[in-house]
């Protein structure tokens, strides 16, 4: 039973990642038996931590556990494990946000349409006041019938795949361990293990990477993988930037192993100004924002409230 919740969710720049008054009301209405304590500074958080049974945070350091004898739950909106330096155990659970899939799917679909419908070249000709109908039309493709490979076919990857299926895509999910195909798959769709990655890349028009960071995914994609892709294919990374080195990616773009790339994550963030990726016309860059939304924390607290009711009995 969780009787109090310590919230330390603030951000120096992005308003959607800050705890708001409406979130306080959201918790008070649905969890009336939980005492809510909200802090805005790390010093205040550490001062209140000894009494907390649960805390909602962006990051948590392992040494803080010495001050947290009553702590039963650490919960974070983040999907990745980068900032919570604690593992779940018998007496302490760590929960990560699971609501990111639809938000990230919007970004991936938007990027795919950007490439397929030649919005980049259209903008360039617009700035030149050129009615380049023929030239632009030669660059336009379609998601209908496109062969999509989702590398990292977990919860987020499957949500992205479901969205793309509505456009008529053929989807291959790639996962470390074999799973049954999801219910929305059609007969031409499939799930394979990572051992067959090079094989499926040869039949891929859009390669979408949704892998976590860590040693198991460091440098997973090599130059050989990009050379397996058909000419004219596109690459998307909304997982972590460690999956491929910048040098390999830049070369793949230069030698037309891929026609374009949507990059939301990078091995070094912020992406250095010296990176050649900034100036490549076939690259669409976002600064780690594929899951950004004005509803971000609303969705997180919706999920957290239901999970607390279901799993903890609040």
Residue whose pair of structure tokens reads 């979130």 in the numeric block: 23
11 catalytically annotated: no
23, 100, 147, 240: which is the annotated catalytic residue? 240
Question: Helix (H, G, I), strand (E, B), or coil: what is residue 4?
Answer: strand
- Torsional class of 297: left (φ above 0), alpha (ψ -120 to 50), beta (otherwise): alpha
- Residues 6 or more apart from 103 whose CB is under 8 A from it? 290, 291, 292, 293, 296, 299
Helix segments in the chain, DSSP class H:
21-30, 42-48, 100-116, 119-127, 133-137, 155-165, 197-201, 223-228, 246-254, 296-307
63 catalytically annotated: no
15, 25, 269, 306: which is the annotated catalytic residue? 269
295 catalytically annotated: no
106, 288, 303, 307: which is the annotated catalytic residue? 288
Catalytic residues: 240, 269, 288
């Amino acid at each position: 039973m969780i009787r109090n919740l310590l919230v330390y969710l603030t951000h120096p720049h992005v308003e959607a990642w800050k705890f708001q008054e409406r979130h306080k009301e959201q918790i008070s209405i649905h969890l009336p038996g939980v005492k809510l304590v909200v802090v805005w500074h790390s010093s205040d958080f550490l001062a209140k931590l000894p009494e907390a049974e649960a805390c909602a945070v962006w990051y948590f350091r392992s040494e803080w556990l010495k001050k947290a004898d009553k702590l039963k739950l650490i919960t974070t909106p983040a999907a990745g494990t980068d900032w919570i330096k604690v593992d779940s155990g018998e007496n302490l659970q760590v929960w990560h946000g699971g609501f990111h899939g639809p938000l990230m799917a919007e970004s991936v679909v938007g990027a795919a349409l950007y490439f397929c419908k030649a919005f980049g070249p259209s903008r360039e000709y617009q700035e030149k006041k050129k009615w380049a109908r023929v030239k632009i039309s030669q660059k336009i493709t379609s998601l209908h019938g496109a062969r999509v490979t989702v590398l990292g076919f977990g919860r987020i990857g499957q949500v992205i795949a479901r969205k793309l299926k509505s456009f008529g895509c053929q989807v291959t999910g790639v996962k470390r361990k074999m799973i049954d195909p999801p219910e929305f798959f059609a007969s031409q769709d499939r799930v394979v293990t990572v051992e067959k990655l090079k094989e499926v890349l040869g039949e891929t028009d859009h390669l979408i990477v949704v892998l976590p960071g860590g040693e198991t995914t460091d440098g997973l994609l090599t130059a050989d993988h990009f050379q397996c892709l058909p000419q004219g294919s596109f690459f998307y990374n909304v997982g972590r930037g460690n999956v491929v080195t910048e040098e390999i990616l830049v070369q793949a773009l230069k030698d037309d192993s891929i026609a374009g790339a949507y990059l939301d994550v990078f091995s070094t963030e912020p992406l250095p100004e010296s990176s050649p990726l900034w100036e490549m016309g076939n690259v669409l860059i976002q600064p780690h924002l594929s899951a950004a939304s004005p509803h971000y924390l609303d969705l997180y607290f919706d999920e957290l409230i239901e999970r607390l009711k279901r799993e903890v009995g609040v």
